[in-house]
Structure 1
Amino acid sequence: MIGALKGESHRCEFDGVETVPTATGRYCYVPTIHKVKLGEIVDLLRQFAEMPKTLMIPEIPNYSFAKKLYSTFLSYLPKEKAIFDLKMNIDDRGSFTELVHTINCGQVSINISKPGIIKGQHWHHTKWEQFIVVSGHGLIQQRKEGTDEVIEYEVSGDHIQSVIMLPGYTHNIINLSDTQDLVTVMYCNEVFDPNRPDTFFDPVDK
């Protein structure tokens, strides 16, 4: 439509009911058409509206109707709904906050550890994670279950790196600072399921 308003419309002729694109065609046509049932639109809009509660981003493949509908939905979002609270799980060690869930690609969270604190000390069967320290100075340790060898990665927000927590390796993250919080972005390939947590306690350094 914007192209048509600028005099740059897509032109065509018709072979029966079939569109035949041609630069000098007598008719305007829309090059991309999506055929979607009303029920699917309703389901998508419901998912979009519930996102602040579920944190779940719907499947929105590139160039899909869902992606375009989501952008349209957001463009009409009242300004007071463009901000929403996240649940911060806070204890004396710091906090852990889930940011985004996805249907097939897991979740992203933010972890804040107070000075001197160790978090983790567990391993997973099939779940894997990536830790990205964005502020502070920390040490990530991993030990393959059944062995004594400990792998260590010293990390800092001054040089941002991604460290993969390997399945079958018990792991932790230690805040090495005496004064500064350690802030870590954590990606996990699965959304946490309390019925199947796939998380087993075992200290890295026995």
Structure 2
Amino acid sequence: MKVLVTGANGFIGKNLLMHLREKGGFEVVPFSRQHTEQDLPGLLDGVDWVIHLAGINRPENPSEFVTGNTGLTQTLCDAVKQCGRQIPIIYSSSIQAERENDYGTSKRAAEGALLALNEATDNPVYIYRLPNVFGKWARPNYNSAVATFCHNVARDLPVSINDPDAVINLVYVDDVVNHFLSLLEGKNSNPGPFVEVEPVYQISVGGLADQLNRFKATRENLITEQVGTGLTRALYATYVSYLPPERFTYTVPQHGDDRGVFVEMLKTRDAGQFSFFTAHPGVTRGGHYHHSKTEKFLVIKGDACFRFRHMLTGEFYELFTAGDKPEIVETVPGWTHDITNVGDDELVCMLWANEIFDRDNPDTFACPVGTEA
């Protein structure tokens, strides 16, 4: 499938082209600032779809809104009409088209050109009145508060906020791109002409800044946000994408003694924490029980013996595991337990606990396991 993408070097365009390359089966014809409007008829040759992303939103002169938004779109419509065949057009408009300002007026007029083409020739058009789009590769200090805030927070620069209670509507660039792709692949039956991307997220400007600063604080307190779904997932991916390469790494505290070292890696507010420890040959770690806390151990290097004893019945159990056999060992409340390095090399073991360690209420009580049933 041959696709003409205008604004191919812009924020959405860069993300779109990456996805099209990953999908395969698409031949992309890019249109960018190095081209002129006169190039459009030739670029349309053999094209199956047009994704029209090009436009002006930060001109030096307001008249550029008309030429860069309305004029370019009209030229595109004329070129499609003159080619004598239908070429579906996806257009990235803006929610500003609903407002009376220079930018919004120019986008609304561009929509009008597309609607006129559709009415005259039945050429399919899909108009997206997008709210603020955010994600990787957006330009900071341009027209995206998310990009600017991410860039500044990631570099310890101040963030300027005029009204922290002002609410902004956001769509994630991956959701926008996936919606475009669903049209290209025939998976979206929306007849148009106006189409919406979902989900649309809402957050206050102050809330956005607070969330990004919590992401930053994770490197100090090790407590991660709930970055697996929804807006927090998308914002975290965006924030991390603005980290300069020299900040790709960070150190975490290491606690060591004669037995080995213990390092906490990541903590969650509702699903526990992750860490690892080492043990020298012959060293035993643990020797305690819990009332409610549970743990999962995974030996990733060395040989280990786990021992358990029931606190009421005295029942004894031991098992052996090693780094070459991925096997989770789970501790059970009411059983005292320990782990001994029974190999000749250092033991390295990953550990998950279902809760963040609380020094004031550790739910950890010393009690030797012993070595016999």
Which TM-score tier does this pair reach, normalised by the shorter chain? 0.7 to 0.9
Q: Equivalent residue for 2:219?
A: 52
AA paired with 2:190?
Answer: A
Q: CA deviation at 1:189?
A: 0.1
TM-score (norm 2): 0.50
8 A contact 1:12–1:23 mirrored in 2: no
Length, aligned pairs only:
198
Q: Equivalent residue for 2:286?
A: 120
1:8-59: CA deviations, max 9, x gaps? 6693699xxxxxx963423354332101122221221011111111111102
Within-5 A mapping of 1:126-205: 126-177=292-343, 179-205=344-370
Q: Which runs of 5+ in 1 are unaligned?
A: 15-20
Query: 2:201 is paired with a residue of what secondary structure?
Result: coil
Alpha carbons of 1:132 and 1:155: their partners in 2 closer, same or farther (altered >3 Å)? same
AA paired with 1:132?
Answer: L
In the aligned structure 2, how far is the partner of 1:196 from the partner of 1:5?
A: 59
The higher-RCO structure (CA 8 Å, 6+ apart) is 1
Q: CA deviation at 1:144?
A: 1.1
Alpha carbons of 1:78 and 1:138: their partners in 2 closer, same or farther (altered >3 Å)? same
Q: Equivalent residue for 1:26?
A: 193
Between 118-127 and 27-36, the greater mean CA deviation after superposition: 27-36
1:115-160: CA deviations, max 9, x gaps? 1000000011110000100100010111111222211110100111
Corresponding position: 1:73 with 2:239: yes
TM-score (norm 1): 0.88
In the aligned structure 1, how far is the partner of 2:217 from the partner of 2:243?
A: 13
Q: Equivalent residue for 1:17?
A: none
Alpha carbons of 1:101 and 1:9: their partners in 2 closer, same or farther (altered >3 Å)? farther
Q: How much is the aligned-residue C-alpha RMSD, in angstroms?
A: 2.3
Give % identity.
Answer: 31
Structure showing the higher helix proportion among its residues: 2
Computing the radius of gyration from Cα coordinates, the structure with the larger value is: 2
Q: Equivalent residue for 2:208?
A: 41
In the aligned structure 2, how far is the partner of 1:31 from the partner of 1:159?
A: 44
AA paired with 1:26?
Answer: P
Between 179-188 and 39-48, the greater mean CA deviation after superposition: 39-48
8 A contact 1:13–1:22 mirrored in 2: no
Alpha carbons of 1:139 and 1:13: their partners in 2 closer, same or farther (altered >3 Å)? closer
Query: 1:35 is paired with a residue of what secondary structure?
Result: strand
Q: Which runs of 5+ in 2 are unaligned?
A: 1-11, 20-50, 54-88, 93-125, 130-187
Query: 2:203 is paired with a residue of what secondary structure?
Result: coil
In the aligned structure 2, how far is the partner of 1:99 from the partner of 1:117?
A: 23
Q: Equivalent residue for 1:110?
A: 276
AA paired with 2:218?
Answer: M
Alpha carbons of 1:29 and 1:144: their partners in 2 closer, same or farther (altered >3 Å)? same
In the aligned structure 2, how far is the partner of 1:9 from the partner of 1:205?
A: 72
AA paired with 1:60?
Answer: V
In the aligned structure 1, how far is the partner of 2:128 from the partner of 2:269?
A: 42
8 A contact 1:124–1:167 mirrored in 2: yes
Query: 1:89 is paired with a residue of what secondary structure?
Result: strand
In the aligned structure 1, how far is the partner of 2:316 from the partner of 2:90?
A: 63
